[in-house]
Amino acid sequence: MKKLMLALLGITLAGSAAAQMKPEDAIKYRQSAYSTMSWNMHRIKASIEGAYNKDDVIKAANVIQSLANSGMGSLYLPGTDKGKGWVETRVKPEFFAPANKDKVGKVAADFNREANEMAKIAAGGDAAAVKAQFDKLGGTCKGCHDDFKIKD
Amino acid sequence: MKKLMLALLGITLAGSAAAQMKPEDAIKYRQSAYSTMSWNMHRIKASIEGAYNKDDVIKAANVIQSLANSGMGSLYLPGTDKGKGWVETRVKPEFFAPANKDKVGKVAADFNREANEMAKIAAGGDAAAVKAQFDKLGGTCKGCHDDFKIKD
């Protein structure tokens, strides 16, 4: 019972710590994390299209994996459906719609799974396998963007 | 000899891929990566100061570790000593001075070492050890900022 109480308290405190984050900071962190992923997707692409650099692909895949597993969902606080981080957020209101909860969960889980797989395959150093996984991973990025990101 | 030639070719091609990156993109990626690290340092701090959340600290430390090992040096291309990514870069010209090459290498190596250690200690889940390592890691951030980052 004491453990349960402490666990509940932990959740509450963690929740309030997240609640203390300013919406503009949460949006900035989101934009930063996605931009960091973009850098690293470009690095993998450069290796696939040019001279394959195993070490570079591993480093890039590890960054993407760590961000996929980081719990970025906590950055989608109430009040961050609109607002400015580095720039105005491009998240669509549909992302926050309760009716889309399962759909959002699915695109997040798809990305997470393929990012973890990318890191495994990168470690193997097989360029053809990396290319195939890169396409799969990119597909999960696009899957979310199509539904939940305002076009450039 | 063939291997050496290919290795040299690989370096050249990787170099030209990096050279193709626009300076404003490199600056934006740097700012994004540091902001992502800041988010994750704040998460660790919240755990140290509030209810300790082992899983959250592990996720945060893994992000910082992956970025420390990502080879961010490649984002300091010639022509990125000035310019705008999300905002105007705050790197000091001293960062690019050949006379400071060893000093820059040292602050980078310090950060790298402590970030790797942070991830190891986070996995152990000992809050006091995490706090001590967080202070060490934060010291390496400050060590670089003091010399090479323009103050806010």
- Do the Cβ atoms of B67 and A36 come within 8 Å? yes
Cα separation, A28 vs A137, in Å, equals: 24
B67 CB neighbours in chain A (<8 A) are 36, 63, 66
Tens of pLDDT along B69-115? 999 999 999 999 999 999 999 999 999 999 999 999 999 999 999 99
**B67, two tokens:** 């970025």
pLDDT at B9: 43
Distance from CA of B114 to the nearest CA of A (A): 17
Q: Complex ipTM, two decimals?
A: 0.88
Chain centre to alpha carbon of residue B55: 22
* CA B18 to each of CA A79, A94, B42, B70, B76: distance values in angstroms, whole numbers, following the listed order: 38, 37, 31, 14, 10
Residues 6+ apart with CB under 8 A from A130: A44, A47, A48, A52, A57, A118, A121, A122
The residue type at A137: L
Tens of pLDDT along A2-47? 444 444 444 444 444 555 799 999 999 999 999 999 999 999 999 9
**B36, two tokens:** 């992502």
Tens of pLDDT along B12-45? 444 445 557 999 999 999 999 999 999 999 999 9
Residue A52 near residue A127 (C-beta atoms within 8 A): yes
Q: Is the pLDDT of residue A105 over 80?
A: yes
Residue from A86, A27, A25, A37 nearest B67 by CA: A37
Cα separation, A151 vs B18, in Å, equals: 27
B9 CB neighbours in chain A (<8 A) are 51
Tens of pLDDT along A41-100? 999 999 999 999 999 999 999 999 999 999 999 999 999 999 999 999 999 999 999 999
Cα separation, A44 vs B144, in Å, equals: 28
Residues 6+ apart with CB under 8 A from B131: B48
Distance from CA of B123 to the nearest CA of A (A): 14
**Hey, of B31, B56, B66, which one would you mutate to test binding to chain A, going by the most A CBs within 10 A of its CB?**
B66
Cα separation, B7 vs A37, in Å, equals: 27
Tens of pLDDT along A107-150? 999 999 999 999 999 999 999 999 999 999 999 999 999 999 99
Q: What is the pTM of this model?
A: 0.89
Residue of A nearest to B30 (CA): A36
